[in-house]
Amino acid sequence: MINIKEDAKLSVLNHSCAHLLAQAVKHLYPEALFWVGPVIEEGFYYDIDLGDITLTEEDLPAIEKEMKKIVKDGKNIVRHEISKSEALAQFKDDPYKIDLIERMDEEDTIISCYSQGDFTDLCRGPHVANVKLLKNFKLLKVSGAYWKGDANNHMLQRIYGVCFETPEDLEAHLAELEEAKMRDHRKLGKDLGIFMTSDLVGKGLPMYLPNGYIIWEELENYIKGKEKKLGYQHVLTPPLGSVELYKTSGHWEHYQENMFPKMEVEGEEFVLRPMNCPHHMMIYGNSIHSYRDLPIRIGEIARDCRFEASGALKGIERGRTFCQNDAHLFVTKEQIKSEFESVVNLILEVYHELNITNYRFELSLRDPSDKVKYYPDDEMWNNAEDTLRKVLNDIGLEYVEKIGEAAFYGPKLDVQVKPAVGNEYTLSTCQLDFCLPMRFNLSYIDKDGNKQTPVVLHRAILGSIDRFMAYYLEETKGLLPLWLSPVQVNIIPVNNNYHLEYANEIFAKLKDLNVRVNLDDREEKLGYKMRESVMKKIPYAVIIGNNEIEAKTISYRKCGTEETVTMPLDEFIEKIVAEIKERKN
């Protein structure tokens, strides 16, 4: 999908279209007041105060119609500059504009405005020369949006739209949006029998169906296998813990609001755990450690529960319970670099093997002015951030820095990906933490016999199994690689009366080799069964008829292709087993 904000020409076009939208809204709703109307990756929006009037999507066609009228009228878009005091006078009845003007720095700042016919807006520009150039637009949705993005403020109404140079580009874009909806993991999850939710169980609590759990198990085995090779030790800890545990870690202070409320049992207070770091801290602290033992790498597919805002829930991408592919690496200061590098390499290796190419790295740092969120120790923070930056530069990894995105206990490297529908999110993460080991009083004995505090790397490669599945379903459009597919081979006899015996023989052989194989022996036409095989995204459809029986061969068609391949049965079996083992895409 094209990033409009990063395309200079489209960016100007969309920005101008935002003004066009505002002008049309002003015509239809004279009382409307306007906040800002920026260009975003997906097009543009404008935040509008309409008082008591509430727009719905049904109002958009009328606004579009008015926009087209203005376009037809063909006014030039003219830039002019005024002084700050002139601007304050000109917009004196508009509190939003006054707010914008007053926030500009110096007294004599020149403020630029753009006018088109009867409409003028504050704007740095640039804009297209004439509204006639804004022909190919579409308004997409309306929603509420907090003023200045602050939930303590009132809500404005936001109208989203998009604009292109040609009608064909617009059509293509709208078609892409439709296509994206089709590969939304919530739709695929339902169609392919991967997960379900139930009102009675509760919202945000997904349940994995047999097909989904096969994918889950394969992913779990895959990543744990990699971790074992790297010297990780896996543990199993309970999905709840005492409130004291989280007071010790600091999570209670920082995230109490986002945890399920505490429960009291026999005078003790517990919470469903939002995070399993404290459990792993306790495991480390369970025994004495020598510098010779470090790094110690403790991993767990760990279930956590977070009280996510209801509006944030989204299938298995974000639920109120999920399983992290978590691990905590307890290291000496000297080992930070090599362990961090090893984690980054593991991320790159996994992404490469799973053919994930569309991602970017973010270095999440603290906002030093935020004295509430972050653990108060400037030296520790500077040390941690410098260390991380140095490691990343040494590795030569491309990343962008994000101020204010760090965890309360330390800076982190996040891998950001974009889902089919919705906002970018974090898939993998690696976090540097000098804080929790101190809070839990962890130590190891150095070579001089002195107690030292280890450093902890928190890391999750698949993020959570849940979110990873959501992402990967969307990436693959549900056509998973063979090793992950719930059903790998679908055997379809042309005629049950004559071909079932041979089909059964193949079924048994594959089954014996732990291939997930299905024999479709229903009394239906071949075309019918082929269609269903494709819709269920089964990678291999194997057709068995007279030709195959006579020659001891099979014919197969790979899902998504039109080509039929015939080969000896033994060769096919070898091929399938090898492909599964190699985890080929």
Footprint of RNA on 219-278 (CB under 7 A): 251, 254-255, 258-259, 274-275, 277
By beta-carbon proximity to RNA, the closer residue of 243 and 313 is 313
Identify the H or E element spanning 8: helix 8-28
By beta-carbon proximity to RNA, the closer residue of 62 and 535 is 535
- Min dist CB 343 to RNA, Å, is 15
Q: What is the 3-state secondary structure (H, E, C) of 29-86?
A: CCCCEECCCCEECCEEEEEEECCCCCCCHHHHHHHHHHHHHHHHHCCECEEEEEEHHH
Point out the catalytic residue in the list 328, 459, 516, 557.
328
Sort residue 562 into left (φ over 0), alpha (ψ -120 to 50) or beta.
Answer: alpha
Point out the catalytic residue in the list 23, 157, 324, 488.
324
Task: Show the binding pattern over residues 199-218: x = contacts RNA (CB under 7 A), - = does not.
Answer: x--xxx--------------
Contact flag: residue 415 with RNA (CB under 7 A): no
Nearest to 458 by CA among 359, 293, 331: 331
3-state class of 138 per DSSP? strand
Six-digit token pair at 553? 């061969």
Nearest to 53 by CA among 22, 30, 21: 30
CB atoms within 10 A of CB 357: 8
Point out the catalytic residue in the list 17, 113, 163, 277.
277
116 is catalytic: no
| Beta-sheet strand order (sheet of 399-403) | 233-234, 296-305, 321-331, 455-464, 425-433, 412-417, 360-365, 399-403
By beta-carbon proximity to RNA, the closer residue of 46 and 232 is 46
- Min dist CB 416 to RNA, Å, is 10
By beta-carbon proximity to RNA, the closer residue of 485 and 555 is 555
**Stretch near RNA under the rule CB under 7 A, chosen from 4-12, 63-71, 305-313, 328-336:** 305-313
Identify the H or E element spanning 293: none
- Min dist CB 86 to RNA, Å, is 31
The CA–CA distances, whole Å, from 489 to 139, 239, 492, 493, 557 equal 45, 37, 10, 13, 10
Q: Are 493 and 530 in contact (CB under 8 A)?
A: no
Question: Taking CB under 7 A as the criterion, which residues in 313-352 touch RNA?
Answer: 313-315, 318
Contact flag: residue 83 with RNA (CB under 7 A): no
CA distance 568 to 542: 12
Point out the catalytic residue in the list 306, 467, 529, 557.
306
Task: Show the binding pattern over residues 36-75: x = contacts RNA (CB under 7 A), - = does not.
Answer: ------------------x-xx------------------
277 is catalytic: yes
- Min dist CB 149 to RNA, Å, is 3
Residue of the chain from 395, 421, 438, 567 that contacts RNA (CB under 7 A): 421
Q: Are 425 and 417 in contact (CB under 8 A)?
A: yes
> Percent helix, strand, coil in the chain (nearest 5)?
40, 25, 30
CA distance 523 to 242: 58
Question: Taking CB under 7 A as the criterion, which residues in 125-154 touch RNA?
Answer: 141-146, 149-151
- Min dist CB 524 to RNA, Å, is 6
Residues in the chain: 585
- Sequence-ordered strand ranges (E) for 172-305: 195-196, 207-208, 233-234, 240-242, 263-265, 268-272, 296-305
By beta-carbon proximity to RNA, the closer residue of 147 and 291 is 147
Contact flag: residue 423 with RNA (CB under 7 A): yes
Report residue 301: phi and psi, to 5°.
-85, 95
Nearest to 518 by CA among 545, 548, 495, 485: 485
By beta-carbon proximity to RNA, the closer residue of 153 and 166 is 153
Residue of the chain from 349, 564, 582, 585 that contacts RNA (CB under 7 A): 564
CA distance 303 to 433: 21
Contact flag: residue 3 with RNA (CB under 7 A): no
CA distance 384 to 430: 13
- Answer positive or negative: Cα dihedral of 180, 182, 187, 191: negative
By beta-carbon proximity to RNA, the closer residue of 129 and 201 is 201
Q: Which residues contact 224 (CB under 8 A, 6 or more apart)?
A: 232, 234, 299, 301
328 is catalytic: yes
Identify the H or E element spanning 405: none
Question: Taking CB under 7 A as the criterion, which residues in 181-200 touch RNA?
Answer: 184, 186, 190, 197, 199
By beta-carbon proximity to RNA, the closer residue of 160 and 444 is 160
Point out the catalytic residue in the list 127, 186, 297, 458.
458
Residue of the chain from 83, 495, 514, 585 that contacts RNA (CB under 7 A): 495
| Total number of residues that touch RNA (CB under 7 A) | 78
By beta-carbon proximity to RNA, the closer residue of 97 and 529 is 529
The span from the first CA to the last CA of the chain, in angstroms, equals: 23
- Min dist CB 61 to RNA, Å, is 14
Question: Taking CB under 7 A as the criterion, which residues in 391-410 touch RNA?
Answer: 405, 407-408
26 is catalytic: no
- Min dist CB 237 to RNA, Å, is 16
Q: Are 101 and 84 in contact (CB under 8 A)?
A: yes
Question: Taking CB under 7 A as the criterion, which residues in 501-560 touch RNA?
Answer: 523-528, 530-531, 534-535, 541, 543, 545-548, 555, 557, 560
Point out the catalytic residue in the list 412, 467, 499, 516.
412
Task: Show the binding pattern over residues 424-463: x = contacts RNA (CB under 7 A), - = does not.
Answer: -xx--x-x--------------------------x-----
- Sequence-ordered strand ranges (E) for 147-204: 155-164, 195-196
**Stretch near RNA under the rule CB under 7 A, chosen from 29-37, 217-225, 310-318, 449-457:** 310-318
430 is catalytic: no
> Which residues does the annotation mark as catalytic?
277, 306, 324, 326, 328, 412, 458
